[in-house]
Amino acid sequence: MSENNRPLNFIERIIEDDLATGKYTSIHTRFPPEPNGYLHIGHAKSIWLNFGLAQKYGGKCNLRFDDTNPVKEDEEYVESIQKDVQWLGYQWDGEIHYASDYFDQLYDWAIYLIKQGKAFVCDLNAEQMREYRGTLTEPGKESPFRTRSVEENMELFEKMRAGEFPDGTRTLRAKIDMASSNINMRDPVLYRIKHANHHQTGDKWCIYPSYDYTHGQSDAIEYITHSICTLEFEAHRPLYDWCIQNLPVPAEPHQYEFSRLNVNYTITSKRKLKQLVDENHVDGWNDPRMPTISGMRRRGYTPKAIRDFCEMAGVTKVEGVVDVSMLEYAIREDLNAISPRAMCVLHPLKVTLTNYPEDRTEIMTAPVHPQDEAMGTREMPFCREILIDQDDFREEANKQYKRLVLGKRVRLRNSYVIEAEEAIKDADGNIIEVRARVLEETLGNNPADGVKPKGVIHWVSARDNVDCEVRLYDRLFNDPAPDAGGKNFLDSLNPGSLEILSGCKGEIGLAQATLDDRYQFEREGYFVLDSRYSTPEKPVFNRVIGLKDTWEKAAS
C-alpha cells in the first residue's frame, strides 16, 4: 500500500492498535483464493490489501490455495493465480500453502469434535437438509441422526473416509444450534463425500472439508493474525470463531471484513466469467475485455494503475459500486506519464506532396515524450508520399473542422505545413488519394504569408512504416449493472466491444516494440502489443484505453 497523507482505513487502525498494545509484535496476513477460475479485479483489491498491509507494517503474507473442492479446481488456475500476484508486484512469504496440506490435521480435528460430542454423521440428503434448516424467520429442525452415539459416528465417519458410501449420501455436521438466528450456525456441514481426484492429493481422499471448517483452522495453523475477508463472510464469522474455540488449534486468529470491490459495467462471478469463456463470447480468460487480472495485463493495464485504483476505491465496511471510469482514469494517469509517443494511422489515406522531390527523404525528429526530455528523441522518415487518417481530410468542412480541407492548410505533427489541392477518387466516388503541396520553411515556423494552419494531424511515411493490425477494445457490457435484478447478463454484451483494423500503418520505430512497451498513439489512445496474436512479422496492437472518456461524453 502506498505511503501518503490519506487517513488510515479501519483495518490499518486495528493493526496499529494491536501493535501498539503488544497484542502482536508483527502481523501475518494471507490471500486465500480458490483455484476454480482466473482472478478478477475484485481479487486485485484483496491482493493489494493483504500483501500491502504486510508490506506497510513489516509483516508477512501467505499465498494459500483454498483447494477444498476438487470438482471445480485445476492446476491451470493455480499457475495463473501465482502469475497474477507476482505481476501485481507482490511476493508471498515462504512456500505456497494449500488447504490440502492440512487435510490430515483437519481430519484428526474432526474426530476430536466427534469424540467431544460436537459433531455427528448425518444421512439427510441436500434437499432434506434445506428443509430442516429453516428460514431467516423460522428456526430449523434437528436432524433425526443428531443423537447418534460417539461410537456410531466414529464408525460411520471412518467408513466415509474409506469410500464405502456414494457421493451425497452422508455428511459430517457440527452440532451447534438449529434455532440460531444465524443460519450458518445451524449444524453446518464440516465434511462431504466427493469421489474425485484432487490436483494436489490425488485419490488419497474421497471426503473433503467445507470452506467454513477449513478456513479458520488453516489460519490458525499458519499463525495468521488478521484474517481479512469480504463482507459476505461476516455472517460466517461466528462459525469461524466456534471452530477456533472448540478445537485445540495452535493460535487464535481473528476475522475482519471489508466491502468487496464492485465495479459497474462489469461482472465478477467466476461462474459467469467461465460461461463467457466456455460459450466463446470472449477469447479466453485473458481476453482484453475480461475483468480478469490476466485480461487486464493482456489489454495493457499496468500493475501500478490497478494498485492506484484499489487505493482510490478505499477500504470500508459499506457496500457500494465503484464507477469503472475511476479505473480508466487510473490507467490513463499512469500511461500518460510513462508511455513513449508514436504515430499510427488507423485508416490510411495517401497524400502525394506534388512539389516535394521524389528522390528526397528527410528525417524528422520528435520527442519520445513531450514532458520527459530524459526519454530522448525519435526519428521519422519524411518523403513525397505520406499517409494520413481518412477522417483527417474533407473536400469541404465547416469552421469547427480543424483538419485538412481542399484549399486549406494543416500542420503535419513534427513536420511541415501542407495545403490540399486536389482529391482523387475511384470509379465509385471514394477518395483514394489527396494531392497537396508542402510549404517550404515551415519546419518549426508558421507560413511566411501569415496564413496559419487550422490544426495538427498525424502521419507516417508511405514508404517507411510498420504494417500492423490494431484492435480497438471497449467495455464488454453496455449496461452498468449487467447481471442485476435477475437479468441475463448475456443480453447486455456490447456488440461494439471489439473492432479489428487491418492495414494500419505505424511509424517505423514501432518495429522495435516489445510486449512490455505501452505507447500513446498520438490522437488515438494508448496501445500495447497483443501477447497472443502479435508476431515480429505482423505486430498486433491492442488499445488499452482512449485518450478521453467517450462513454461519459456519450451519456451527457
pLDDT, one tens digit for every residue, the chain (556 residues): 655 578 999 999 999 999 999 999 999 999 999 999 999 999 999 999 999 999 999 999 999 999 999 999 999 999 999 999 999 999 999 999 999 999 999 999 999 999 999 999 999 999 999 999 999 999 999 999 999 999 999 999 999 999 999 999 999 999 999 999 999 999 999 999 999 999 999 999 999 999 999 999 999 999 999 999 999 999 999 999 999 999 999 999 999 999 999 999 999 999 999 999 999 999 999 999 999 999 999 999 999 999 999 999 999 999 999 999 999 999 999 999 999 999 999 999 999 999 999 999 999 999 999 999 999 999 999 999 999 999 999 999 998 999 999 999 999 999 999 999 999 999 999 999 999 999 999 998 999 898 899 899 999 999 999 999 999 999 999 999 999 998 999 999 999 999 999 999 999 999 999 999 999 999 999 999 999 999 999 999 999 999 987 655 554 4
In three-state secondary structure terms, 242 is helix
For the full predicted model, state whether its pTM sits above 0.75. Answer: yes
CA distance 55 to 88: 14
Neighbour tally for 335: CB within 10 Å = 24
Ranges of beta strands (E only) in 78-237 are 97-98, 119-122, 171-174, 189-193, 207-209, 226-230
| Catalytic residue status for 408 | no
Cell of 202: 490425488
Q: Are 429 and 420 in contact (CB under 8 A)?
A: no
Point out the domain boundary residue: 263, 279, 314: 263
Point out the domain boundary residue: 414, 433, 464: 464
Domain membership flag for residue 4: no
The set of long-range contacts for 46-50, using a CB threshold of 8 Å and a minimum separation of 24, is 46/228, 46/230, 47/84, 47/85, 47/88, 47/90, 48/1, 48/88, 48/306, 48/307, 48/310, 48/311, 49/1, 49/11, 49/228, 49/258, 49/310, 49/315, 50/228
Predicted confidence at residue 3, as pLDDT, reads 52
Same domain flag for 441 and 481: no
Q: State the alpha helices, DSSP H only, in 57-176.
A: 75-87, 103-115, 126-133, 150-161
CA distance 424 to 481: 48
Neighbour tally for 507: CB within 10 Å = 27
Same domain flag for 472 and 460: no
Q: Which amino acid is residue 165, in one-letter code?
A: F
Q: Which amino acid is residue 232, in one-letter code?
A: E
Among 56, 72, 141, 260, the active-site one is 260
Predicted confidence at residue 556, as pLDDT, reads 43
| Catalytic residue status for 270 | yes
> How far separated are the first and last CA of the chain, in Å rounded?
35
Predicted confidence at residue 151, as pLDDT, reads 98
Neighbour tally for 319: CB within 10 Å = 11
Q: Is 4 exposed, middle or buried (0-12, 13-18, 19+ CB in 10 A)?
A: exposed
Domain membership flag for residue 367: yes
Same domain flag for 293 and 357: no
CA distance 173 to 180: 15
Domain membership flag for residue 502: yes
CA distance 357 to 260: 63
Cell of 212: 467454513
Upper half-sphere CA count for residue 553 (Cβ side, 13 Å) = 5
Point out the domain boundary residue: 206, 233, 263: 263
CA distance 188 to 177: 9
For residues 501, 303, 97, 239, the Cα torsion angle rounded to the nearest 10 degrees is -100
Same domain flag for 230 and 141: yes
Domain membership flag for residue 215: yes
Angle at CA of residue 361, ends 358 and 366, nearest 5°: 140
Same domain flag for 478 and 541: yes
Domain membership flag for residue 5: no
Q: State the alpha helices, DSSP H only, in 247-381.
A: 270-278, 293-299, 303-313, 324-338
Same domain flag for 46 and 183: yes
Among 133, 173, 192, 270, the active-site one is 270
The DSSP call for residue 537 is S
* Sign, Cα dihedral of 226, 229, 230, 233: negative
- Nearest partner of 310 among 293, 298, 295, 294, judged by Cα: 293
Domain that holds residue 275: 270-338+468-555
Tell me the CATH number at 207.
3.40.50.620
Q: State the alpha helices, DSSP H only, in 137-208.
A: 150-161
Predicted confidence at residue 454, as pLDDT, reads 84
What are the DSSP calls for 458-487, one per residue? --EESSS-EEEEEEEE--SBSSSSTTGGG-
Q: Which amino acid is residue 474, in one-letter code?
A: D
Domain membership flag for residue 2: no
Domain membership flag for residue 360: yes
Q: Are 145 and 124 in contact (CB under 8 A)?
A: yes
Tell me the CATH number at 510.
2.40.240.10
Same domain flag for 248 and 288: no
Predicted confidence at residue 486, as pLDDT, reads 87
Same domain flag for 288 and 393: no
Predicted confidence at residue 538, as pLDDT, reads 94
Residue whose grid cell is 466456534: 242
For helices 211-221 and 103-115, give the axis angle rounded to 10 degrees: 110
Among 34, 362, 421, 469, the active-site one is 34
The DSSP call for residue 127 is H
Same domain flag for 333 and 472: yes
Number of domains in the chain: 3
Which run of H or of E encompasses 220?
helix 211-221
Cell of 31: 490471500
Same domain flag for 222 and 334: no
Same domain flag for 358 and 242: no
Same domain flag for 211 and 108: yes
Domain membership flag for residue 282: yes
